[in-house]
A and B are shown apart, each in its own frame.
Chain A
């Protein structure tokens, strides 16, 4: 996929410091991008847009917390909600990628979430 072909891609995240972005169909590719970018710069990334279809199962208030968001999305995904979808949903609630992952870590460490496979989440 070249730069000229990217306009239709569904998930878009941006580093505001570097003014670079990634557009992708795969929500978890935004997670991989974040990790690589964070590793090289220490920068956070923010959401520019997310595929509405991927978030269709989300019927929670705009100020819902992470646990409520994952619970709302859980039924729509067999084998766990892709971490990128969770991040996108939290992005729509104003959270950056770093903030979301910090919340994910906290919730996992306190038993609120688990990872049935890499980069997919399910609630307890």
Chain B
């Protein structure tokens, strides 16, 4: 029985049993601004989240920034060739240091310098230099020169954010006590690392703003019961009846079987299927099956009622062929079709009529998304 806001306002936590009537996240978790604030800590401040692609910063000193909730990090290639991440915050008085620098338009620096008082850091985050005024207190009559200790390079260094990788895909975690990355990524890490993801180059980024909660779109991505009615072009050549929805601890995979005539050279993997991975909370890897490339989505909340879909496309060569451009155009069409659906759904969710939705038995991937959200909120 669907639970309406009919004066009773009866909702329950998400039942682990999908056959129970309380199998969905109560609606207020999609529409309440306080939930959006809570998620910054309990979701995006706790779990591993995608930072970007290592291929975009191939040289020592290459960097980009990534903003997650209220936090911004610098992701850079250090002297040892490793990708590392720091808060974009100066150890002196907390100034943001480098300007917003998207992964699709990365920057380069030999050292990280705060423009405010010119505190300068090495690429390993250690403080490399400060202006003389920090060591020679000539303007402070209460101090003798010998009373001042110079800043310690390590203790006054930048605050590191832990990183982990799946091939070239870099993840970060803001928690004080992060769960092991392997636990969250599960066998997705092993499966994707068996593929030559690092041989493909970033070719295009398309960013859209969509007027619904990020979980509303996450739910749409996670099932294809809506495809027959809404993605007529895409389902040509797909055998929806043979699809398989695989649910793991923190990720799920949608396997869509292709007709046998799909060209073998058009796929990064050997299976005759498109494989769409959703890694909790907001990252997807899209193996399309009909293009020799792959894509990723970041489903970044702006507020409770809007998110940015950051769609990145990777091909053998960053210079797109005509076919690859056409492929991206088709992918974009699919996104637009879904945006219509999720914005329509969100208009309904905002009306306040529905207290708790009802998921169908084949929506077990959506159920997993809702359960993980509930689990995060209750933690």
Instruction: Using CB atoms and an 8 Å cutoff, list the residues of chain A in contact with chain B.
Output: 1-4, 15, 18-20, 22, 33, 36-43
Contacts and interface: CB of A to CB of B under 8 A. Distances in A.
Interface in B34-86: 65, 67
B207 A37 contact: yes
A3 B332 CA distance: 15
A36 to B, nearest CB: 6
Nearest to B103: A40
**B interface secondary structure, majority:** mixed
Contacts of B102: 38-42
Contact of B206 (A20, A33, A38): A20
Contacts, number: 54
Contact of A41 (B104, B343, B347): B104
Name the residue in A37, A42, A43 with the highest tally of chain B Cβ atoms < 10 Å from its Cβ: A42
B215 to A, nearest CB: 18
Contacts of B344: 2, 4
A20 B308 CA distance: 12
B302 interface: yes
A77 B22 CA distance: 51
Interface in B287-306: 300, 302
25 contacts: A1-B211, A2-B344, A2-B347, A3-B343, A4-B344, A15-B207, A18-B207, A19-B206, A20-B206, A36-B308, A37-B209, A38-B100, A39-B65, A39-B67, A39-B100, A40-B102, A40-B104, A40-B205, A40-B308, A40-B310, A41-B104, A41-B105, A42-B102, A42-B104, A42-B105
A3 B209 contact: no
A33 B209 contact: yes
Contacts of B340: 2-4
A19 to B, nearest CB: 7
B208 interface: yes
A35 B310 CA distance: 15
